[in-house]
Amino acid sequence: MEKPRAVLFDAYGTLFDVYSVGLLAEQLFPGHGQALSVLWRDKQIEYTRLVTTSNDGAHYQPFWELTLASLRHACKRLGLALNAEREQQLMNQYRHLSAFPENREVLQALKARKVATGILSNGDPEMLGIAVRSAGLEGLLDHVLSVDGVRRYKTHPDAYRLGTQATGLAASQILFVSCNGWDALGATWFGYRTLWVNRYQLPFEELGTQPTRTGSTLRDVLSFFPS
């Protein structure tokens, strides 16, 4: 099979560690950092789906707003007192999530092989810009694509279509990489070749479709480009 001509990465959970807020969460709410970071993330994704599915996207809010809303909900749910200062601290931390350490070398290796690279993310443009700069990835990405322009979150086809539109390639010529099982599934359904980076040794979704390949770190992207 022809090698992919472009590689698009999911951002949150794939290039950037959404659970890296857990440390600060634990400092602010001792004994609850882990639970808060998991519930915050789950709720954030749930909210992207609710606003996308309901009334044909009429209730869209940018990812930053949904991230704030989900933080507030998660704290109420866990009975944690989120004052304005703590909220600002946690949201600021979310703006500067840790990047996974292998990001740069993988992107550099793709550049060396003359493969187009990009991000296709639920994040809004401002969040993505800050995250990319903080991680020092600017020169290594040809495309930084945000669903904000189409006001539909993944796994809506309008969101995935941003990748084929930006690159001018067919979905089957593009490798889409995500650590989120649901995202790898949605991208596979859309028609992308897919790598699910299963960082946390989770079972894949049970909906009858498998990603093209499964790996354990972003380095497994390079298995699609044998020299």
Q: Which residues are catalytic?
A: 10
Residue 145 in 3-state DSSP?
Answer: strand
Structure tokens that stand for 160 in this block: 């995935």
Q: Where are the alpha helices (DSSP H) in the chain?
A: 22-28, 33-53, 63-78, 84-95, 103-112, 125-134, 157-167, 181-190
Cβ proximity of 29 and 80 under 8 Å: yes
Confirm or reject binding of residue 64 to a second copy (CB under 8 A).
no
Radius of gyration, alpha carbons of the chain: 17
- Closer to a second copy by Cβ: residue 170 or 207: 207
Instruction: Name the minimum Å distance from CB 168 to a second copy.
Output: 21
Q: Least separation, in Å, of the C-beta of 126 and a second copy?
A: 20
Give me the 119-158 binding string for a second copy, x by CB under 8 A, dash otherwise.
Answer: ------------------------------------xxx-
17, 182, 214, 217: which one binds a second copy (CB under 8 A)? 182
Minimum CB separation from a second copy for residue 7, in Å?
21
Is residue 51 part of the contact set for a second copy (CB under 8 A)?
yes
Residue found by looking up tokens 């950037």 in the block: 16
Q: Are 39 and 176 in contact (CB under 8 A)?
A: no
**Contact at 8 Å (CB) between 48 and 153?**
yes
Does 172 help bind a second copy (rule: CB under 8 A)?
Answer: no
Residues of the shown chain interacting with a second copy in the complex, contacts defined by CB under 8 A:
42, 46-47, 49-56, 58-59, 61, 69-70, 72-73, 76-77, 155-157, 182, 185-186, 189-190, 202-203, 205-209
